[in-house]
Structure 1
Amino acid sequence: MEFNLEEGKHLYDECSTLILPALSIGNVGQLAVDLLIASTKAERVGYLDDPNVLPCVGNDAYNPTHQGDLALPLEAYESPSSALTLIQQRSPVVKGMMVEFAKNLADFAEASGKKHIVILSSLDFGRWQTVDMSSGLQIYYLSNTNADGSDDKCEKQGWKKMKEYDPNQKLWKYLNTLAESNVNQDDSSPLEDDLGEEDYYPSLPFAAMFSCFKAKGLKVTCLLCYCSEGDNIPDAFHLAEAACNLVGLTSDTFKGNTGGKWVIPFSWQSVYGPPPDMSLF
């Protein structure tokens, strides 16, 4: 993985917290990062070039004026006022290369002096065992603060630890082995086998990223929510709000924004296409 700094830009030492998405159902993590980039007025400082990420290109996602800036698969943004670095991922990882990609991300985070990694992702609502919507959308977390994945700071936020996390489970142990060694994932690895119910969570991208950041000795927290495919903008707001609470950002951080706390990214105007023709109903 190569990091390419844009001309005239530089990295800020104070931006020691890195927030990034792990691609999953409903793209909630990516949408939440979109919100954070737009609302913190983070500036793009460069992009990451990784052979394990599929190429793509598109229009500027945040600026409505035509400046000729293109959106790329992996972009790095920084907000010195919020002490945040944000990475946005716009295309998926090549099949079978998730662990290698996660290793490269961990190398970048370590080399750039990041102290806390926050991974935003989503889980399949169909696998939610105990559905309780009495208190609204629920945030789940996974942290390497304690060996069992728990974190007192997250508990104080009212979030629930992902109870399915078991560091002694076969696939979690395999991920740790890959993350902590220089060996590559081979064709006969458990990640390519038929997966059982207990293998669903460690088979997701956030799990590989969690294991690889943890192997570098970095503090890492995964914030997760259950969702289905469809319009997941409300879930994105909820996950972005949780990320702000975790890193200590308040509404005062965004007080310069017009129309309220959050800035809706320009690209969201067409994210789910035009509204339906009401004459059909």
Structure 2
Amino acid sequence: MEFVVEEGKHLHENCSNLIMPALSIGNVGQLAVDVLISSTRGERIGYLDDPNVLPCVGNDAYWPSPEGDLTLPLEAYASSSNSLTLIQQRSPVVKGMMVEFAKNVADFAAASGKKHVVVLSSLDFGRWQTIDMSSGLQIYYLSSSSMDGTDNDCERFGWKRLQDYNLDQRLWKYLSNLAEGNAGHHDDIPSGDELGEEDYSPSLPFAALFSCFKAKGLKVTCLLCYCSEGDNIPEAFHLADAACRLLGVNPNNFGGNEGGKWIVPFSWQTVYGPPPDMSLF
């Protein structure tokens, strides 16, 4: 992976907290990073070139202007006033290369002096075992702060540790071995239809990122919420707010539209395409 700095830009040393998405159902992690970049008025400082990420290109997602800057698959933004570096990923990883991609991102984070990495992602609502909406949308977490994945700050916020995290489980153990450079035994790893319920979480991209950041000695916290495909903008705001709480960032200082704390990204205006032709009704 190569980090290409834009002309006249540089990595900010004080931006020691890194937030990035892990692609999953409903694109909640990407949407949350979108709103964080827009609301903090993050400055694009460069992009990451990794052969394991599929190529894509599009219009400027945040600040449309006559210059017509293009967006790329993997971009880095900085908000020095909030001590944040944000990475946005807009295209998926090549099949079978997720661990290699995660290792490359972990190398970048370690080399650039990041102290705390927050990964935002989602889980399939159809697999939710215990449904409790009494306290609203629930945040689940996984932290490298302790061997069992718990974290005192996350518990204080009322979040729940990811229930099926178990380092002795075959896929979690396999990920840990790969991240640490140990070969592991491919014959012991199920594939396709052989995956069981206990294999769901460690088969997702956030698990590979978690394992590789942890293997690099970085503090990493995954924040997760359950969702379905569809309009997941409320979940994105909830996840963005959770990331701010965890890192001690006050969204009320962002100075959003009309005094609000969030600035909706320009690209969201067409996230579900143009409005319907009313002459049809």
TM-score (norm 1): 0.95
Q: 1:103 to 1:182 in 2, by over 3 A?
A: farther
- Residue correspondence of structure 1 range 216-255 to structure 2 within 5 A: 216-255=216-255
Aligned to 1:67: 67
Aligned to 2:149: 149
- In the alignment, residue 190 of structure 1 is paired with which amino acid? I
- In the alignment, residue 138 of structure 1 is paired with which amino acid? Q
- In the alignment, residue 89 of structure 1 is paired with which amino acid? Q
- Partner SS for 1:242: helix
Aligned to 2:177: 177
Q: For 1:237 and 1:256, how far apart are their aligned partners in 2?
A: 13
Q: For 2:55 and 2:91, how far apart are their aligned partners in 1?
A: 7
Aligned sequence identity (%): 74
Q: Which runs of 5+ in 1 are unaligned?
A: none
Does the 8 Å CA contact 1:53/1:73 hold for their aligned counterparts? Answer: yes
- Partner SS for 1:222: strand
* Range moving further from structure 2, 214-223 or 270-279: 270-279
- In the alignment, residue 32 of structure 2 is paired with which amino acid? A
> Does 2:170 match 1:190?
no
- Residue correspondence of structure 1 range 87-166 to structure 2 within 5 A: 87-166=87-166
Deviation at 1:187, TM superposition (A): 7.2
- In the alignment, residue 92 of structure 1 is paired with which amino acid? P
> Does 2:269 match 1:269?
yes
CA shift digits 1:6-34 (9 cap, x unpaired): 00001111000000000000000000000
**Number of equivalenced pairs:** 280
Deviation at 1:188, TM superposition (A): 5.5
CA shift digits 1:75-99 (9 cap, x unpaired): 0000000000000000000000000
- Residue correspondence of structure 1 range 2-13 to structure 2 within 5 A: 2-13=2-13
TM-score (norm 2): 0.95
CA shift digits 1:156-195 (9 cap, x unpaired): 1111111111111010000000000165x89767264521
Q: For 2:64 and 2:47, how far apart are their aligned partners in 1?
A: 20
Deviation at 1:280, TM superposition (A): 4.8
Q: Which runs of 5+ in 2 are unaligned?
A: none
Does the 8 Å CA contact 1:82/1:253 hold for their aligned counterparts? Answer: no
- Alignment RMSD, CA only? 1.7
* Range moving further from structure 2, 71-80 or 190-199: 190-199
Aligned to 1:16: 16
CA shift digits 1:95-149 (9 cap, x unpaired): 0000000000000000000000000000000000011111110100000101110
> Does 2:200 match 1:200?
yes
Does the 8 Å CA contact 1:191/1:203 hold for their aligned counterparts? Answer: no
Q: For 1:33 and 1:145, how far apart are their aligned partners in 2?
A: 23
